[in-house]
Amino acid sequence: MGMRGIHTSINDIRRAIFAEVAKLSYNYKEGDLSEMELIPYRIIPGEVSRYRESVFLERAIVRERMRLAMGLPLRKASEHAPVSTGAEECVHPEKYYQPPLINIIKFACHSCPDNKVVISDQCQGCLARPCSQVCPKDAIYFEKGQAHIDESKCVKCGRCMGVCQYGVILRLERPCAKACGMKAIITDEFGRAEINQDKCVSCGMCLANCPFGAIADKAQIFQCIQAIRSEVPVYAAIAPAVAGQFGKDLAPEKMRSAFKALGFHDMVEVAIGADLCTLQEAEDFINEVPDKLPFMGTSCCPAWSVMAKKEFPQFAECISMALTPMVLTGRLLKKEHPGCKVAFVGPCAAKKLEASRKSIRSDIDFVLTFEEVLGMFEAKEVDFNALESMEVPNSASADGRGFAVSGGVASAVVNCIKHTHPERVVNVAYAEGLDNCRKMLQLAKAGKYNGYLLEGMGCPGGCVGGAGTVELISQAANEVNKIKKKTEKAHAYESEFESILPQLEE
């Protein structure tokens, strides 16, 4: 599960950067970004480093994090330029960030050992020496009564690990590579991590699991706030995984006031779009499986659907063509309030990529993560306790709100099918984490899932485990379930927007 839910210094630095970029945007006066030069000194004050070998390195890393948080490209250590280089173009809300979305700040990378079997100094130098007996390459030798591994011979099979009675033989893996379900992390010529962009689907799991905070995605905090400050109304569309992400002080009934305090015109739940997506997927499933397609995969997780189409192109048609909850909510808002802008606020890095696709650009203007929005609350000094309670309009169904947790999408769709076709039996399989999603598709390829509905989620636990979340995954899932229990409408087919779904699909 990694470090999620444990508050570390990396969370503090990220939050401070998001708050500073938000402040910069709220106070921005045409053409003046000189403040960018001062921010690294506010975040890393003084002369003594706290985390790394020097305060200069710490500030250099903060500069690159700040650039990424403003949507600007990363710079190498060999480039010399003011931190605000190129920032002028980036302040316009229309600017979409340039790929790649997920970036490794090379001089923050620890060059971790990757897939190396090591014997710790706690080896007891036992008489039996089972480690050397099972080693197929004769790679284990003894010196001063302790076992050692000859790197040049070791094939990392791990047999020695299994037989050591003391459990002192370890496999060291790069945390980012271990977390990557796409095997997209490679090593550069200096032994630092590098992302193979052809394989990366921007799920952000590497970012959430790097204990050196060397990986960051680009953000649109600055641009979104510029839009908020303009004449155009900007609506916040909040993903169902929000439950509990802003801490205990922000009660669900104060959520709408909180977003208004940031300057948003109003807030709606993406769960209303989830209800519409459910209706669409249920209809697709009934019409297409098993007559036209052997199985159907859900559409809402972009990391899963991109992986599925990339690695199993023969089944590309089997991933539902239904519009995602984010897109349906954006379309609904723009239909009701022509000319408005929409910021999707969610747990997900891959949604940033989904929103920048040409076909979706007009539906969603900005994507922010919960963690980035926490920085905005800090910048505006929003006191959650002082906010008034406001009802959230167009309340979604419990099933729609359940999209945030693994298994939730599939069960919402099944409930819909049961309603319209009570005689129909729907078999379901679901997977969380891209490694497991791949295994599920391999079984589907072997014909094990004919007639099934398959739900894929790129993150552990579903959206509640996304790269932009801060809460412990199990705790976040509990919070979602608490909100579901209090929800009046149970199922997606109770949506009041069902009648306009055909217009949104056009």
Q: Rounded mean pLDDT of 168-173?
A: 96
DSSP string, 152-174: TT-----HHHHH-TT--EEEE--
What percent of the chain lies above the pLDDT cut of 90? 84
Tens of pLDDT, residue by residue over 305-323, are 999 999 999 999 999 999 9
Taking residue 425's Cβ as centre, other Cβ atoms within 10 Å add up to 9
Beta strand segments in 354-468, E: 366-369, 427-432, 452-457
Tens of pLDDT, residue by residue over 19-65, are 999 999 999 988 789 899 999 999 999 999 998 999 999 999 999 99
Beta strand segments in 204-312, E: 215-217, 234-238, 266-269, 296-297
Tens of pLDDT, residue by residue over 228-274, are 999 999 999 999 999 999 998 999 999 999 999 999 999 999 999 99
Contact 365, 341 (CB under 8 A): yes
CA trace torsion 47, 53, 57, 62 (10° rounding): -80
pLDDT beyond 70 at 97: no
The residue type of 182 is M
pLDDT beyond 60 at 1: no
Contact 83, 37 (CB under 8 A): yes
Contact 193, 176 (CB under 8 A): yes
H or E, element range at 12: helix 9-26
Site of tokens 């412990």: 472
Tell me what pLDDT residue 96 has: 60
Whole-angstrom distance, CA of residue 450 vs CA of residue 60: 53
Domains of the chain from N-terminus onward = 9-106+183-222 (no CATH), 116-172 (3.30.70.20), 223-498 (3.40.950.10)
The one-character DSSP state at 319 is B
pLDDT beyond 70 at 468: yes
Tell me what pLDDT residue 419 has: 95
Q: How many CA atoms lie less than 13 Å away from 287 in the CB half-sphere?
A: 9
Whole-angstrom distance, CA of residue 427 vs CA of residue 410: 10
Q: Rounded mean pLDDT of 473-478?
A: 94
Tell me what pLDDT residue 47 has: 95
* Omega of the bond leading into 73 within 30 degrees of 0 (cis): no
Question: Taking all residues of the chain, what is their mean pLDDT, rounded to a whole number?
Answer: 93
The residue type of 64 is E
Q: Rounded mean pLDDT of 79-95?
A: 79
